[in-house]
Every structure is written in structure tokens, then in C-alpha cells.
Amino acid sequence: MKRFTTVLAMITGIITINGASSAKAGELTVDAWPSTVYYLALLSGPNAPYEDVMVNITAVDEYTLYVNGMEIGSDDDWSTVDSYHVSIDGDEIWIGVEVKNHGAGNGNGIMVDIKGANTDWLGTSTWRRRSVLLEEGMREYPVTWCYHTGDSENLPGDPWYYPGTQDYFDGQAQNDGWMPVQSGVIGDIGYIPADKIEIVAGFPPGNIDNGSNKGGGMILRRVEGENLAYDRPGEVQYLTDGDLYRGYTFTLEPLGQTRFVDLEEIRRINCMALFSGDENLDTWDTTSVRGYAVEISLDNFRYEEVGVLNEIGISNADRGGYGWYDVQFPEEWARYSRFKITQPRVAYPNIGEMMVYGVGYAYEGVYESAWIDFGLPDALKTLTNIQWNGDVPGGTNIIIQTQTRRMNGDDEYVTSDWSNPSSDMAFDVVVLEPAHEIRYRVRLTTQDIDVSPAFERITLIYTKDTTIADTPDELPEALAITGMYPNPFNGAMTVEYVLPSTGDAVIEVYNLAGQRVYRHDLGSIRAGRGEFVWNGRDSAGSVVSAGTYIIRLTAGDAIVNAKAMYLK
């Protein structure tokens, strides 16, 4: 009777699957969590139109660059800045960048610096917007960056990197799942030609940073550059909905008036920004806010003023102008933040968005792996043990859960509930029945926004529940249980068997009182040699009592029994 051995390399782990006479366990080790993020930007400048521009770019760890619908170049060395001379012949410059982060600890983000050939500086990757007042009137100076984490084949747009109209960012981009970028981190790239250069980043869902931890692994995402007020409750819904042009216009004298936002958690904040004006650029110098103060509170009752900006459009001409204006202040703890109008203009101001920024790590982050079949898509596997490594400072925690799914007779997946959470670095997994695929969930938490736990490696240990002969040319004459080991056992026991013909088979476990404590339907399996692992638990998942049990194998009309002893 033939046996087989298969060895598969998968990610950084080795999965070894053996026949019934060899070791039964396989394992998969993962120590990097790569991701792909797509960036989209629209840039223009006061001196548009442009014929040629110079694009300087780098990203962690590799990128592909598109400009106005054309692929321009790519590179896989994040430590060098590449320069591309691009012909534009127009007012608008659309930038699309696909960035693949290998999870190697080199950072998380992208830097793009664009200059007009022999003219003005067009801008950098940024989470801000700008405007400028020229002799002929107001001109918006768009520097709009956003990101998407969806599958490239399902990204909105055709192609995704060239929507082709500035109106796309005025509401539709948000509906399509594009999110505003925030501050990122890249190591030394030796490129800082201007103090306005910014590193920006987009992160996979779940508040997880998979690239910035030195040496690899995942940590909590930092909030620098993230609008903490986005989609939070406040006095005026439109002020925090992310739509810059659907805002709020005062209908009464605004001087001294306030509007607040509830961040819904206590954060350490250091900046508020307003986006003002309306779609008529020529009236921005009359319909924007002229001056405002920032006030913060822990209880929405007692407020403290932390900063003020007056003569907007003049005092901040080099960092936003009439369209975007921020008030920066020393870091303070707050849950509520509000603006107070300190200087009026001729017309009542229109405010498109109120934004609040802070520092530190997110309080909680969750990562869910893709479904894993260990390279054995058709075989049933039982996950038996998980081991992981990482750094868990005081006040932080890492929790692991698992989930399984199995294909039923109708070719539909039946998915289990998530397992009970565990923070142990090594623990047995309670699985009621084998499955075709498993996945795991990692939850990182902190009580101190200056400290994050680091999840660096996970090993999944499993057994392959049914191993059958490659060919049925040497078939047994009768159904039989050919071995059980270890026996007596504590933990898990492997039951070997042979089937004389292809068909359905069932494993059952009875105590000496004749009560069935466990049943598992093996499904339809081919004739030959196979094996099954019983983990010493009943059908409800509870550990059975110590004692002798009858292992019963049924296939068709044939039934065989064998005794096993469970020890505690």
C-alpha cells in the first residue's frame, strides 16, 4: 500500500505533510504582513498651465508611478529618490501611485515632490489644501491626496489613477472609498530640498501599521496627520462629514460664535484646521473666516483657549491662504474641540470642514488574516496549537482568535464562530471539527498612546486529518482500525484506519456507559489508508473525563471498534 510525503514552502514557514507512518503535524510561520496601498492625487499651481514638470518620488518599499493616465516608472529601493521629467501640457496633474509594503520595518508611506520646469514649486505629498490670491483674483491651489486599500481590479475608475476631473474630489471620491492620507514614516532618504516636504501614508483597515516597527511585525497605527474629527458627532453634521464643499454658513452675526465636535475619546491634540470659502473662488476673500480661536475641553462644559489665528489669507499665505488655515498649539488632552470666530468679514463665513489633529498611537487595532489552506485546499485540517512572539509593554495587550470554515456537500462554506480570545504566547486551540481553511485575528490595545505592543511572529500548528493512498491499486480487504497513538494519551490521539472501498465514513467516540460523547463525519473518502485526530474533547468542545473510550469507525455496513484510554 502506497504512502506519500509532500513538503511545501509557504511564506517564511515550512509545511510538512506526511503519511500515516511518519510525523503527523505541520506548521506555518508568518513574520511579515505585506500590504498594497493605492494613492491618488490632484495637483495644480498658480502658474498653470504647464508644459513640463519634474516628479521626485520614493515610497516604502516599492512603487509604480502614473501621471495623467500614463505609467511613468517604478522602483524597489525606498532609500533613493527617483526623478522623472514628464510632459503635461495642461492645468492639472493627476498622480497615481501603487505602493507595495513588504512589512520589513522600513516605514510606511510615500514622498512626492513636484516642480514646474523653470517655474513654480507645485507641491509635495500632503494632507493639506492651499489657495493663493493673484492679481486677477482668487485661485485654488489644489494639493489633494487620498488612498485606497481595495483590490486593484475592483478600484473605482477606468483607470483608477486618472479620474480626469477635479470635481471627482468634491464628494465622489469619498463615496468610492478613497480616504484622506495622513502622516507617514520613511527612513533616511537624503532628500529634503524644502521644509514643506511631507511624508504621507495610507494604512490597511483596522488601525494597524505593518511597516514601521523596526525589524518587522505589526504595531498600532499612529494618528499624526489623521483628521480625528472625521465622521464624529458635533453641533453641525456637515462640518465633519469629509465633504469640503458641503458645509455650514452662519446666518447670524458670527463674531464670538462657536461650533464644537466630539472626538468620542480622549486624545492628545495639537492642531485644528478649517476649510472655508465656497465653489466661487472669487469670493473666498469675503466668504472665508477672517480669524478664529481654538478651544478644547474634557467635558464639553469647561473650555480653554489654546490658540488663535487672525488676518487669515495674509498671515498664513505660505501655508494655506484663504482656503485652508490651521491653528497649531502645544499638545493638550481633550475630547471636545471647538472654534470661535474672532474676526468677521463683510459676508458671513462659509465653512466646509472642521478638522482636528493629534499625536500618539490608536488605542486599539485589529488585523484579520486571509483564509489559509496550508497548501492543501482539498484536505481537512485540525488547528491544534498557536505560538507567537512579540513585545507587550505594561499597559498594552495582544489577543489572538481563530476561525475555521469547511466546504459542505453543497459546495458551500460553513464558517465557525471566532474562538475564545487568548493572550498567551502559546496555547492549544479548541476546534470542534476539522476544516478546510482557517484564519486568525490579532487585536492590539494600549492604555498609553505613547506606547504600542508589537506583534512579530505567529506559528500555526495543525494536523492533516485524512491521509489516503495516492492510488487504490493495493486495497485492503476489510475495514480496519490499524493503529492509535499515543495510547494512553493526554491532549490528542491519532487514529489510523484503512477503507476497502470509496464511500462515506463516520468516527464516533463512546464512553463505557454506552453514551456517545463525540461524532465526526469524515465525508466521502477514497479507498486506502487514512487517519483522524481526536483531541480528547466532546462534541460541545469540553475536555472529556479520564477513562477508557470506544473509538468506532463506520463505513457503509461495516463497523469496527477499538479501545483508547484518556489520561489527565
Sketch the domain layout of the chain as residue ranges. 6-30+368-464, 32-222, 226-360, 480-566
- State yes or no: pLDDT of 131 exceeds 70: no
Q: What are phi and psi of 173, to 5 degrees?
A: -60, -40
DSSP-assigned states of every residue in 258-289: EEEEEEEEEEEEEEEEEEE--S-GGGHHHHS-
In 187-228, the DSSP E strands lie at 200-201, 208-209, 218-220
pLDDT digits (tens, 9 = 90+) for 335-347: 999 999 999 888 8
Band (pLDDT 50/70/90 cuts) for residue 120 is: low
> CA of 113: how far to CAs of 56, 186, 275, 317, 356, in Å?
5, 15, 23, 20, 25
Going by their DSSP bridges, the two strands 480-485 and 258-276 should be labelled as: unpaired
473 or 321, which is more confident: 321
Q: Does the pLDDT at position 494 exceed 50?
A: yes
Per-residue pLDDT, averaged over 484-512, amounts to 86
Q: What is the DSSP string of 397-444?
A: EEEEEEEEEEE-TTS-EEEPPPPPPB--SEEE---SS-BSEEEEEEEE
Average pLDDT over residues 78-87: 90
Q: Report how far residue 263's alpha carbon sits from residue 268's, in angstroms, rounded to the nearest whole number.
A: 11
Q: Is 153 helix (H, G, I), strand (E, B) or coil?
A: helix
Mean pLDDT of 313-342: 87
Grid cell of 307 as nine digits = 490658540
**Confidence category of residue 42, pLDDT binned at 50, 70, 90:** confident
Residue, of 164 and 301, whose pLDDT is higher: 301
Q: Looking at the domain covering 480-566, what would its CATH class be?
A: mainly beta
For residues 71-99, give the mean pLDDT.
89
| pLDDT class of 521 with cuts at 50, 70, 90 | confident
Q: Classify residue 317 by burial, with Cβ atoms within 10 Å: 0-12, 13-18, 19+.
A: middle
Residue 329 CA from chain centroid, whole number = 31
Q: Could you identify the residue written with the cell 503519511?
A: 19
CATH class assigned to 226-360:
mainly beta
Q: Report the range of poorest mean pLDDT among 98-112, 187-201, 323-337, 390-404.
A: 187-201
Instruction: Answer yes or no: same fold for 226-360 and 480-566.
Output: no
The larger pLDDT score, comparing residue 331 to residue 145, is at: 331
| pLDDT 10s digits, 353-383 | 899 999 999 999 999 999 999 888 878 888 8
Mean pLDDT to the nearest integer, 287-292: 89
More confident residue, 93 or 245: 93
* Selected residue with higher pLDDT from 527 and 119: 527
| Long-range contacts formed by 173-180: CB under 8 A, 24+ apart | 173/40, 173/146, 174/242, 174/243, 176/148, 177/148, 177/150, 178/40, 178/146, 178/147, 178/148, 179/146, 179/147, 179/148, 180/127, 180/145, 180/146, 180/226, 180/227, 180/230, 180/242
Task: Using the predicted structure, report yes or no on whether residue 75 has a pLDDT greater than 90.
Answer: yes
Residue 10's pLDDT band (cuts 50, 70, 90): very low
C-alpha grid cell, residue 417? 464562530
Dist CA 504 CA 445 (whole Å): 46
Is the bond leading into 31 cis (omega within 30 degrees of zero)? Answer: no
User: What percent of the chain is modeled with pLDDT above 70?
Assistant: 83
User: What confidence tier does 12 reach under pLDDT thresholds 50, 70, 90?
Assistant: very low
The class level of CATH for 32-222 reads: mainly beta
Q: For the whole model, what pTM was predicted?
A: 0.74
C-alpha closest to that of 148 among 160, 131, 162, 140: 160
